[in-house]
Chain A
Amino acid sequence: MKKELGIFVLLVVLCIITSLINPNFLAVINLQNLARQIGAFGIFSIGLGLVIITGGIELSVGSMMGLLGVLLSMMLTQWGFPIGIALLALIGVAMLLGLGHGLLITRLNMQPFIVTLCGLLFYRGIARFVSNDETKGFGTVAGLDFLRFLANGNLAGIPMPFVLLIIIAAITWVVLHRSVYGRYLFATGRNPEAARYAGIDTKNIVALTYVICGALTAISGIIFAFYTNSVSPANHGNAYELYGIAAAVLGGCSLRGGEGSVIGIVIGTALLQVLRNLVNLLEIPSSLDFAVMGAVILVGVMADQIFTERRNRRQIAMMREMSAREAQSS
Chain B
Amino acid sequence: MNNTPLFEMEGISKRFPGVVALDQVSLSVGEGEVVALIGENGAGKSTLMNILGGAIARNDGTIKIKGAPVEINSPRDAASYGIEFIHQELSVLDNLDVAANIFLRREPTFGGPLKLIDRRRIYKEAEVLVRKLGLDITSRTPLSQLSIAQQQLVEIARALSAGARIIIMDEPTSSLTLTETRRLLDIVHDLKKQNVSIIYISHRLHEVEEIADRAVVLRDGKNAGELQRSEINHERMVRMMVGRDLKEFFTGASESVSKVDGEGFAVRRLRTLRYPKNNLSFGVARGEVLGFAGLVGAGRSEMARALFGVEEAHETEVELDGQALRINGPRDAISHGIYLIPEDRRQSGLIVDFNVRENISLPNLDAYASAKLINFAKEKKAAVEACKSINIKTPTPEMRAANLSGGNQQKVVLARWLTFSPRVLIFDEPTRGIDVGAKAEIYQLIRKLAANGVSVIVISSEMEEVLGISDRIAVMHEGRLTGILERSQFSEEAVMRLATGTEG
Q: Which residues of A contact B (CB under 8 A)?
A: 174, 178-181, 183-184, 186-187, 190-191, 193-201, 258-259, 312, 315-324, 326-327
Contact = CB atoms under 8 A, between A and B. Distances in A.
A191 B351 contact: yes
B403 interface: yes
B393 interface: yes
Interface residue SS majority, chain A? helix
B354 A187 contact: yes
B373 A187 contact: no
15 contacts: A180-B365, A183-B358, A187-B354, A187-B362, A190-B354, A191-B350, A199-B331, A200-B363, A319-B395, A321-B18, A321-B19, A322-B394, A323-B393, A324-B20, A326-B393
Contacts of B308: 197
A198 B416 contact: yes
A176 to B, nearest CB: 11
B349 interface: yes
B325 interface: no
Contacts of A195: 351, 362
A319 B331 contact: no
A319 B403 contact: yes
Contacts of A317: 16-19
B334 A320 contact: no
Interface in B393-428: 393-396, 399-400, 403-404, 416
B168 interface: no
Given A179-B372, A194-B348, A324 B354 contact: no
Contact of B18 (A178, A258, A320, A326): A320
Contacts of B394: 319, 322
B349 A194 contact: yes
Chain B CB count within 10 A is highest, among A184, A193, A196, A319, for A319
Contacts of A178: 373-374
A187 B401 CA distance: 13
Contacts of B334: 199
A278 to B, nearest CB: 35
Interface of B: 16-21, 42, 220, 308, 310, 329-331, 333-334, 340, 342, 347-354, 358, 362-363, 365-366, 369, 372-374, 393-396, 399-400, 403-404, 416
B331 A187 contact: no
State the 8 A-B residue pairs at the shortest beta-carbon distance, nearest first: A320-B19, A324-B19, A321-B18, A198-B363, A199-B334, A198-B362, A199-B330, A191-B351
Contacts of B396: 318
A259 B353 CA distance: 10
Chain A CB count within 10 A is highest, among B350, B351, B404, for B351
A183 B340 CA distance: 21
B16 A179 contact: no
Contact of B363 (A191, A199, A316): A199
B374 A179 contact: yes
A199 B363 CA distance: 6
Given A174-B373, A319-B395, A197 B366 contact: no
A73 B349 CA distance: 51
Contact of A315 (B331, B333, B342, B399): B399
Contacts of B17: 317, 320
A196 B404 contact: no
A150 to B, nearest CB: 29
A199 B331 CA distance: 5
A315 B333 CA distance: 35
B6 to A, nearest CB: 32
A197 B349 contact: yes
